[in-house]
Chains A and B, each alone.
Chain A
Amino acid sequence: MPQKMQDAFVGAVLLSAGLVWCVLVWRTIPPGTGGGDVGPRAFPLLLGALLSILSAVMIIKAFTGTPAVEADLPIDDAEPEDSSTGGSVGWLTVFLTFAHMIAYAFLMQKLGFLLSTVVVVASIMVTCAGERSPLRIVGMSVGVAVMCWLIFGKLLGVYLANGTWINLG
């Protein structure tokens, strides 16, 4: 996707998000009582409007403005490569990582920290990290789970999730 189109697309997504936000705010949050009371609705509404305006400007700039200046130095810590080099593969990874984190949250609640960590780490090793050696998969998943459980749960007394179906530790 050329830069212009990408900018317009991002702008459009943000614009619709801003507008939906405004409608939701308007319909669900009551206004203030007047006088010196600013009310709970003012800020969210103002911010939603600001986002809509800014993203509208972004769309307009994408079609009329000069192309943005490319900075060649690092812009942010996690600056990913240009998506054009391997689009679909990239989004598969995104989906898999996201799915694992959602699954981790779900399993943590059901199986407790130890078991859920073993399961999720093993699954990530196979699907995301492309690991095939059973020894390393088991070693890594059990190792990470037990180490974290010992350090955080036992040594530092941080409260780790307990499972509702089954619970170890």
Chain B
Amino acid sequence: MDQFLNAAIMTLQPEVLGAIGLGSLIGLIFGSIPGLTFTVALALALPLTFNLDSISAIGLLLGTYIGGMTGGSVSAILLGIPGTPSAAATVFDGYPMAKNGRASLALGMAVIVSVFGGIFSLVVMVVAVQLVSKVAITFGPAEIFALVVFGLSTICGMAGRSLLRGLIAGVIGLMLMTIGLDAFDGVQRLTFGSTNMLQGINLLVAMIGLFAVPFVIQVFDEHRRGIKPPAQATDVRAELPSFRLMFANLWLMIRCAFLGTGIGAIPGTGGPIAAFLAYDHAKRFSKEPKTFGRGNIKGVIAPETANNAVTGGTMIPLLALGIPGDPATAIVLAGLQIHGIVPGPALFMTNQTEVYGIYISIVVAYVAILVMQLLGIRLFVHVLRVPPRLMAIVVIVLCGIGAFSVRNSIFDVYTMAIVGLLAYGLIKADIPATPIILGLVLGPILESEFRTAMNLSGGDFAIFYTSPTALVFFALALLIVGLQLSGEFFRKKSKNAAVGTSNA
């Protein structure tokens, strides 16, 4: 309790509140711009935190993450274009509502249920994280290796249209992370004798390149071809839904929040999948499924509750196991590490105060988002009017600052540009970018745990198949791959399925 009060005092300082507010604003702005996701926002916001104290830094990053998840609904409702992939399902009913002149209600409802979903998932997370970390504290290298394999198997879920392409992307990510100085033997790997290459490819630099550079190229390309930016949104305000309307949908909100939290807790899934499943769920259990797609408010409530509930879900494996489930939490993880907080089972013993700080920051971020969205919705409408090419220019400069400031190294700026170019090529070739990130994030853990385990066992593979925990994770990994394979098989038969698959 003492620690909780300590954390509350530390988190409710003006500078920390300011950092959370700033983060939420950045997230909301990036979230509302189609093409710029909260992953890019996080990667570019990370340099902001370098000189902040750890609680402010966490607050800023979490605010950006949550704000980005929420902000996607603005352009989804007003323009019919999801600001982030997570808001893609909101378009189905949000945009028709806007066309029927009910945009204000849709926006207001989206904010309210987002906050509801987020806070709900936070409560679930607080309980779950304690339990999971108690179990996880007993894990040795073999178990963690198995867990990481399980995490990687979810690449299949992110793979987009083909498992093969997803695997190729994942392997590319894993390969990139082996470049540099080997942490075990101190051997140089593929550095070509260059001192700059010794430090390897920084995860954040690679992420900035992977997500921001293709956006910039695409914007300039569209400009060159004369593709006009989407129609401009009209002036609106966010209207609070009546209590009766909210109460009537409370049960739906609770179910979708549960669904979102559960989906979020599985590494490799994320916002878009949760939102589409929730939309589908709402439609299936509705008394009037025909009204969906024509402006039924339930079609806004379900996906918006679920995609924000994902934020709490993804924090469970991140905090309890140190395993990020999607690119966004990977950046949060990197941010935490920069500030000396290493997520994992030991976190709850070493950094209890910071953990409470994280919980409180999330609540504060939602309050900030509620206020900003309800009062300042006009600002985000104006953001949507900024010509994309000017936005792209600002993004290039932010990329330069971000890539340089991670390690104060010009080499990283070159790396960012090269990774960005390669990423654009891969995206053009239909190789999805998200599994690359998962490979980048999990690669070093995978290799070091495997090698530690083999060292411990003296080269005997039995260490992996004699541990029941490890076997459970291997079985889960197989199950996921199997499900994806069978899913692909059935999808070939009926060409209708497919959920938005990026969770960036």
Q: A residues touching B (Cβ–Cβ < 8 Å)?
A: 6, 10, 14, 21, 24-25, 28-30, 32, 35-40, 43-44, 47-48, 50-51, 54-55, 57-58, 61, 66, 68-80, 83, 85-86, 89-90, 92-94, 96-98, 100-102, 104-105, 108-109, 113, 117, 120-121, 124-125, 128-130, 140, 144-145, 148, 152, 156-161
B398 at the binding interface (Cβ < 8 Å): yes
- Given A14-B168, A58-B164, A76-B427, answer yes or no on A40-B189 (Cβ-Cβ < 8 Å): yes
Cα(A54)–Cα(B159), bound, Å: 14
Cα(A12)–Cα(B450), bound, Å: 31
Do B190 and A28 touch (CB < 8 A)? yes
Question: Which residues from A are CB-within-8-Å of B37?
Answer: 77
Question: Which residues from B are CB-within-8-Å of A14?
Answer: 168
By beta carbon, the residue of chain A nearest B463 is A36
Do A129 and B393 touch (CB < 8 A)? yes
We find that the number of chain B residues with CB closer than 8 angstroms to chain A is: 94
B105 at the binding interface (Cβ < 8 Å): no
Cα(A128)–Cα(B224), bound, Å: 8
Cα(A19)–Cα(B275), bound, Å: 41
How many inter-chain contacts with C-beta < 8 Å in the A-B complex? 247
Question: Which residues from B are CB-within-8-Å of A130?
Answer: 223-224
Cα(A108)–Cα(B188), bound, Å: 28
The residue that A43 contacts in the complex, of B432, B433, B434, B447, with Cβ under 8 A, is B447
Question: Which residues from A are CB-within-8-Å of B85?
Answer: 74, 76-77
Do A93 and B224 touch (CB < 8 A)? yes
* Chain A residues touching B, majority SS: helix
Cα(A92)–Cα(B187), bound, Å: 40
A-B CB proximity, top 10 nearest? A101-B417, A105-B413, A78-B214, A71-B498, A36-B459, A40-B182, A157-B51, A10-B429, A36-B458, A129-B389
Do B459 and A129 touch (CB < 8 A)? no
Cα(A144)–Cα(B396), bound, Å: 11
By beta carbon, the residue of chain A nearest B165 is A58
Question: Which residues from A are CB-within-8-Å of B214?
Answer: 78, 80
Q: Which B residues from 207 to 233 make CB contacts under 8 A with A?
A: 211, 213-218, 220-221, 223-225
The residue that A98 contacts in the complex, of B174, B190, B420, B428, with Cβ under 8 A, is B420
Do B50 and A158 touch (CB < 8 A)? yes
Given contacts A58-B164, A77-B502, 10 further A-B contacts (CB under 8 A): A36-B459, A43-B174, A54-B171, A76-B501, A76-B502, A89-B224, A92-B224, A101-B399, A128-B224, A129-B223
The residue that B48 contacts in the complex, of A28, A37, A77, A152, with Cβ under 8 A, is A152
Q: Interface 1/0s, chain B 265-295, versus A by CB < 8 A?
A: 0000000100000000000000000000000
Do B400 and A105 touch (CB < 8 A)? yes
B181 CB, min distance to chain A CBs, angstroms:
10
Question: Which residues from A are CB-within-8-Å of B184?
Answer: 40
